[in-house]
Amino acid sequence: MQTFWSHCCREYFYDSELLMFCILIVASFQISFWTLNAALIYLDTHKTRFDKYRIQSNKPKVSLQPELVSKIRKSIVKYTITASLFTPILYLLLNIKGRVDMRGPTPPITTIIWQTLLFIFTEDTLFYWGHYLLHHKSLYKFHKEHHTYQQPIGIVAVLSDPLESLIQIQSAVWLAAALLPHKHIFTLMVWIIIRVHQTVYAHGGYNIPYVHMKHYIPSLFLGCKPHDYHHRVGKYNYGSFFSFWDKVMGTYKEPDTE
Ligand SMILES: [Zn+2]
Ligand SMILES: [Zn+2]
């Protein structure tokens, strides 16, 4: 059956599902990462009406000084090389149990929603425990680089040791998809965009109302203030999407309650 996806594969990716997977996964990450960060960099380098939502407003804005730009540039090059090598391996891993559908029709919205929710819940649990363990003194050396800045901005979301990135972050992001028998490339692209938005916003330094689910269901979601606080003090709030595990384990701290 001729579908939009099979047409794209044949016309634009030399009929190679592997090539199509790698380009669409990397593009979903890069486009969502840089779109959101462009907006955050604009806020950090201009005086705007969003200044009143800055989390660490008692400190000056993080300007893009040469030392920060150089560190971020190195980190982004390192991240891009690691991701480029990892993406073809990811394609093989996702096809061990079940397969990634690269040519079938776009799944129904209900399938996209339940699969994405499964990815979110699995990632949140694995991320919490991996992050919690990385703060143990014997493992902290792998996580130290991510904590270089106590006043984070969106682009520092990728500041991490390649080992931390592959073992802790990528395994949490992809485990549920690897175990799922049938997953469509479109659902995986939606998942990446949601995950990138979550992590960049958590490091963004702005608590802007209405743009995050935390605004609507504050008791369920972690949001950006707790992760900003995690960077400021180097402990508490180890989760990604939800505050559930932090509350169960007694590691939750809402910065306003200091
Ligand atoms: Zn940490
Ligand atoms: Zn962080």
Q: What is the pLDDT of residues 113-127, one digit of tens each?
A: 999 999 999 999 999
pLDDT of 91 > 90? The answer is yes
CA 167 / ligand 1 centre spacing (Å): 15
Q: How far is CA 185 from the centre of its chain?
A: 18
Among 42-46, 148-152, 181-185, 249-253, the range scoring the smallest mean pLDDT is: 148-152
If you measure from the C-alpha of residue 208 to the centroid of ligand 1, how many angstroms do you get, rounded to a whole number?
23
For residue 238, report the distance from its CA to the centre of ligand 2, in Å. Answer: 9
What is the number of the ligand closest to the CA of 149? 2
Write out the H or E segment, with its range, that includes residue 74: helix 66-94
CA 140 to ligand 2 center in whole angstroms: 13
Ligand nearest to the CA of 159: 2
**What's the CA gap between 220 and 133, in Å, rounded?**
23
Per-residue pLDDT band at 70 (split at 50, 70, 90): confident
Q: How far is the CA of 178 from the centre of ligand 1 (A)?
A: 26
Q: Nearest ligand, CA of residue 150?
A: 2
Tell me the CA–centroid distance for residue 226 and ligand 1, in Å: 11
Going from the Cα of 21 to the center of ligand 2, the distance in angstroms, rounded, reads 28
Q: Dihedral sign for Cα 205, 206, 212, 216, please.
A: positive
Number of separate domains in the chain: 1
Residue 119 C-alpha to ligand 1 middle, in angstroms? 21
Q: How far is the CA of 160 from the centre of ligand 2 (A)?
A: 9
Q: What is the pLDDT of residue 258?
A: 46
Residue 131: nearest ligand to its CA? 1
CA distance 146 to 175: 22
- From the CA of 168, the nearest ligand is 1
Domain that holds residue 212: 4-257
pLDDT at 256 over 80: no
Ligand whose nearest atom lies closest to the CA of 203: 2
Question: Considering the chain, what percentage of its residues have pLDDT values greater than 70?
Answer: 98
Q: Extract the runs of DSSP E, i.e. beta strands, from 4-119.
A: 99-101
With cut-offs at 50, 70 and 90, classify the pLDDT of residue 100.
Answer: very high
Calculate how far, in angstroms, residue 230's C-alpha sits from the geometric centre of ligand 1: 7
Q: What is the DSSP-derived secondary structure letter of residue 109?
A: H
Helix, strand, coil percent values for the chain (each to nearest 5): 65, 5, 30
Bridge partner list, 99:
182
Ligand number nearest to the C-alpha of 202: 2
